[in-house]
Amino acid sequence: MSAKNPDRVVIVGGGTAGWMTASYLKAAFGDRLSVTLVESGKIGTIGVGEATFSDIRHFFEFLDLKEEDWMPACNATYKLAVRFEDWRGPGHHFYHPFEQLRSAGGFPLTDWWLRNGPSERFDKDCFVMASLCDNGRSPRRLDGSLLDQDFAEGAGEPAGLTMSEHQGKTQFPYAYHFEAALLAEYLAGYSIDRGVRRIVDEVRHVRLDERGWIDHVVTKEHGQIHGDLFVDCTGFRGVLLNQALDVPFVSYQDTLPNDSAVALQVPLDTEKAGFRPCTTATAQKAGWIWTIPLIGRIGTGYVYAKDYCEPEEAERTLREFAGPRAAEVEANHIRMRIGRSEQSWKNNCVAVGLSSGFVEPLESTGIFLIHHAIEQLVKHFPAADWHPRLRERYNSAVANVMDGVREFLVVHYKGAARDDTRYWKDTKTRAMPDALAERIERWQVQLPDSENVFPYYHGLPPYSYMCVLLGTGGIPLRPSPALNISDETAARKEFAAIRDKAKFLVDTLPSQYEYLAELRA
């Protein structure tokens, strides 16, 4: 390693993480950085990972890509919320939407709803998105404008903020679903056009220098590939960080037991069938099934814990759920490594994506974690001295975001009122991350707010916790006692305004299919 600024990056792995990293580094540093990406033609990508956070729009903006550029190429659709089915019990559903929670008289509307909500449905009473999802609406009008000026696009925000700097300022009203393989290919095209060298080959060895830093990787057919900074995007294998550099993996399995998934790509005539603009997570006997609508097909998969369900049974359950359209489709069985690497950056190797860590697919956090890691890498990019503080700061930001996401996911299982099987019974007695038990106790007398949720940036605002607690229904909650002696006129007005706004939007917005057909044309 020479004492020059690290300006040769070698990325190993060409899945979503690899190509997101390559394209973002090129957009950030242009020709001042040389980027080589090595991907195996034989080892496949994970092939799932098709729902996102709304924050992903900052990624596309950074690359200067507009929806009309990339969405049609990736069979993408809009996601306004996650719809949870049967988590409380059979037949019940609720939405976790991309929509800021309103307040009245100094209290969040959910507090008022607990005290005296207009209906049984907190999500419909407090958010307009629930009605838009139920009615299959698009978040954009046919002229391309956003659904409503209340959701103005980053209005008044300075450009170029990272996701953590954006949090809490405004809530963008939607995220996306897309075909993972098509997005990787699209970003590969973007990257190669901007000078990224793509090598299709397998890394067979990782050679370290006398200090234990990576000197080069050895490929099967292209020989040695040298670089200054190596990015491990090899998925659950962790070829560079975990295998070559021996970084231990910290499992989350004691608190999040799902370690397996089986997935199907089910063809669907989306126009005929119609589809909701949301991801659906349907609780099952030993886990839950995702449904992700795309143009031309549905992605669906059963996430389960092997201690409670055999793979054959999981596949049978998923096929029954998906119906006859899935009869000829081959199932993709996946073993998931749940947890995170003790450090994601060691010496001159940074892991991004599944090699860094993964916290199970509920709430679609995988691509968000990749995006966050890349933003942090750019922010902490090393100079010739490889200052250890940059690495330390990077490692704590990445560890915190993953630990925070884990905590948020655990709340879903602790909170789920259903306890009809051993799996769901055990969710109530399983170990919890440190401090979560105390936080849950506090939320029972004071709903989640910025003072009492996981204290480090992890992408999820307090209102997301509120939705999960109110929706899953297993943890008793009460409104602030102050509301007993407060005037509820403002809250009543707010509930009425939401009801009227929802009706207006449902009546005037095009269907998601109509809008996307227009975009694709």
Ligand X SMILES: Cc1cc2nc3c(=O)[nH]c(=O)nc-3n(C[C@H](O)[C@H](O)[C@H](O)COP(=O)(O)OP(=O)(O)OC[C@H]3O[C@@H](n4cnc5c(N)ncnc54)[C@H](O)[C@@H]3O)c2cc1C
Q: Known catalytic residues?
A: 79
Which residue number, 202 or 403, has a Cβ lying nearer to ligand X? 202
- What is the separation, in whole angstroms, between the first and last Cα of the chain? 51
Coil, helix or strand for 445? coil
Number of residues that bind ligand X (CB under 6 A): 38
Beta-carbon contacts of residue 69 (< 8 Å; ≥ 6 apart): none
Report if residue 411 touches ligand LVLLB6QQ, rule: CB under 6 A: no
Report if residue 472 touches ligand LVLLB6QQ, rule: CB under 6 A: no
Query: According to CB under 6 A, which residues from 125 to 164 bind ligand X?
Result: none
Report if residue 293 touches ligand X, rule: CB under 6 A: no
Report if residue 233 touches ligand X, rule: CB under 6 A: yes
Q: Which two tokens stand for residue 139?
A: 């978040």
Binds 343: which of ligand LVLLB6QQ, ligand X, none (CB < 5-8 Å by kind): none
Phi-psi category of residue 87: left, alpha or beta, with phi > 0 → left and psi -120 to 50 → alpha: alpha
CA distances from 24 to 59, 162, 240, 326 (A): 8, 13, 21, 36
Report if residue 399 touches ligand LVLLB6QQ, rule: CB under 6 A: no
> Cβ distance 379 to 390 under 8 Å?
no
Contact residue for ligand LVLLB6QQ among 13, 136, 173, 459 (CB under 6 A): 459
Which of these segments, 262-270, 297-305, 409-417, 457-465, binds ligand LVLLB6QQ (CB under 6 A)?
457-465
Q: What are φ and ψ of residue 142, in 5° steps?
A: -65, -20
Report if residue 234 touches ligand X, rule: CB under 6 A: yes
Beta-carbon contacts of residue 474 (< 8 Å; ≥ 6 apart): 88, 414, 415, 416, 417, 418, 419, 428
Binds 459: which of ligand LVLLB6QQ, ligand X, none (CB < 5-8 Å by kind): ligand LVLLB6QQ
Report how far residue 503's alpha carbon sits from residue 511's, in angstroms, rounded to the nearest whole number: 14
> Per-residue string for binding with ligand X, 9-48, x by CB under 6 A?
---xxxxxxx-------------------xxx--x-xx-x
Pairing of strands 332-335, 287-294: unpaired
Report if residue 55 touches ligand LVLLB6QQ, rule: CB under 6 A: yes
Among candidates 57, 90, 105, 91, which has minimal Cα distance to 371? 57
Smallest separation (angstroms) from ligand X to the CB of 370: 6
Which residue number, 33 or 373, has a Cβ lying nearer to ligand X? 373
**Cα radius of gyration rounded to whole Å, the chain:** 23
Query: According to CB under 6 A, which residues from 316 to 345 bind ligand LVLLB6QQ?
Result: none
Report if residue 53 touches ligand LVLLB6QQ, rule: CB under 6 A: yes
Report if residue 50 touches ligand X, rule: CB under 6 A: yes
By the 10 Å C-beta count (0-12 exposed, 13-18 middle, 19+ buried), 326 is classed as: buried
How many of the other CB atoms lie within 10 Å of CB of 58?
Answer: 21
Report if residue 237 touches ligand X, rule: CB under 6 A: yes
Coil, helix or strand for 349? strand
Smallest separation (angstroms) from ligand X to the CB of 158: 27
% helix / strand / coil in the chain, to the nearest 5? 40, 20, 40
Contact residue for ligand X among 97, 238, 257, 353 (CB under 6 A): 353
Which residue number, 55 or 125, has a Cβ lying nearer to ligand X? 55
Binds 336: which of ligand LVLLB6QQ, ligand X, none (CB < 5-8 Å by kind): ligand X
Q: At what angle do helices 388-415 and 366-379 cross, to 10 degrees?
A: 160
Which residue number, 423 or 465, has a Cβ lying nearer to ligand LVLLB6QQ? 465
Among candidates 80, 18, 88, which has minimal Cα distance to 288? 88
Which residue number, 203 or 298, has a Cβ lying nearer to ligand X? 203
* Residues at the interface with ligand X (CB under 6 A): 12-18, 38-40, 43, 45-46, 48-52, 180, 202-203, 233-235, 237, 239, 261, 301, 334, 336, 353-354, 361, 364-367, 370
* Residues at the interface with ligand LVLLB6QQ (CB under 6 A): 53-55, 81-82, 96, 98, 171-172, 363, 459-461, 464
